[in-house]
């Protein structure tokens, strides 16, 4: 699916590419929402078998980070970086834009599908509303806040945003504080994320980490200066 979506979008760049991919994601969600015989429509699939648990999910997440890190440091990753910096120069150096962009879409779709499968198995249910625009917006915030060129920043940002999602969930519901009944504030999570996104764009144009990465060697040198491993 990622390859099929990526091929028509290869001629687009920047904001236009983002808009078209958002459109495709919403089209696919609507299609699955109307496939009553396959997906059970808006009700979704219930009672899915449990093939995973939290520890398996953590393990696969760590494995995914390692795979992506090695991929970035490979010749394919360097080709993708060159395309990101300057497509014309990369093409002049012999980098195939069609091949590398299509493969990037396919790899991204694979890991997204893997995450969706783990989620469905873990919560034992899945429906089209699970993958609404709120989830897309959350992923965008994670990437921008962490840094577009940093795996470390993305991981840290994902942890922070996920915790905020759960903390702010209680704010959106009615609360009793010292006997005082307070109504919930619908949409508070979206408001906080929007403010966070604007703050990062204004003060950290490359995200919190930018293109920096943490490594075991770097952490060891900072913890024990003057020593070698």
pLDDT tens digits for range 140-159: 888 888 887 788 888 888 88
Question: End of a domain among 104, 130, 156?
Answer: 130
At 75 the pLDDT is 86
Are 170 and 113 in contact by the 8 Å Cβ rule? The answer is no
The answer to whether residues 92 and 49 belong to one domain is: yes
The whole domain housing 33 covers 1-130
Confidence of residue 27 (pLDDT cuts 50, 70, 90): confident
The answer to whether residues 186 and 123 belong to one domain is: no
Task: Kindly give, in sequence order, each residue whose CB lies less than 8 Å from that of residue 131, ignoring residues fewer than 6 positions away.
Answer: 25, 29, 116
Q: Is the pLDDT of residue 220 over 50?
A: no
Round to the nearest angstrom and report the end-to-end CA distance of the chain: 45
For residue 107 the two structure tokens come to 């790899």
The answer to whether residues 33 and 120 belong to one domain is: yes
At 225 the pLDDT is 58
The C-alpha angle 89, 91, 93, rounded to 5 degrees, equals: 70
**Strand locations in the chain, DSSP E?**
45-46, 125-126, 175-177, 180-182
The answer to whether residues 145 and 105 belong to one domain is: no
Question: End of a domain among 130, 150, 175?
Answer: 130
The answer to whether residues 108 and 143 belong to one domain is: no
Question: End of a domain among 112, 130, 148?
Answer: 130
When divided into structural domains, the chain yields a total of 2
The answer to whether residues 98 and 4 belong to one domain is: yes
The answer to whether residues 1 and 102 belong to one domain is: yes
The answer to whether residues 167 and 213 belong to one domain is: yes
The answer to whether residues 117 and 162 belong to one domain is: no
pLDDT, tens digit, 9 for 90 and up, residues 108-142: 888 888 888 888 888 888 887 777 777 777 888 88
The answer to whether residues 210 and 102 belong to one domain is: no
pTM above 0.75, yes or no: no
The answer to whether residues 160 and 113 belong to one domain is: no
Average pLDDT over residues 99-111: 85
The answer to whether residues 126 and 15 belong to one domain is: yes
């Amino acid at each position: 699916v990622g390859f099929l979506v990526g091929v028509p979008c290869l001629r687009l760049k920047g904001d236009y590419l983002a808009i078209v991919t958002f459109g495709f994601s919403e089209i696919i969600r609507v299609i699955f929402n109307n496939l009553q015989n396959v997906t059970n429509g808006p009700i979704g699939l219930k009672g899915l078998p449990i093939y995973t648990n939290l520890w398996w999910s953590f393990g696969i997440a760590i494995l995914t980070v390692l795979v992506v890190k090695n991929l970035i440091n490979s010749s394919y990753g360097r080709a993708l970086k060159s395309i990101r910096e300057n497509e014309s120069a990369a093409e002049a150096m012999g980098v195939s834009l069609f091949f590398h962009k299509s493969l990037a879409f396919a790899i991204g779709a694979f890991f997204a599908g893997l995450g969706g499968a783990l989620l469905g198995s873990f919560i034992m249910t899945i429906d089209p509303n699970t993958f609404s625009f709120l989830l897309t917006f959350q992923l965008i915030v994670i990437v921008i806040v962490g840094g577009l060129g940093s795996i470390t920043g993305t991981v840290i940002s994902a942890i922070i945003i996920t915790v905020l999602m759960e903390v702010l969930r209680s704010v959106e519901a009615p609360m009793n504080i010292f006997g005082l009944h307070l109504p919930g504030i619908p949409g508070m999570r979206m408001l906080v994320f929007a403010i966070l996104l604007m703050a990062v764009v204004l003060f950290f144009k490359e995200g919190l980490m930018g293109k920096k990465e943490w490594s075991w060697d770097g952490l060891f040198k900072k913890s024990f200066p003057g020593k070698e491993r």
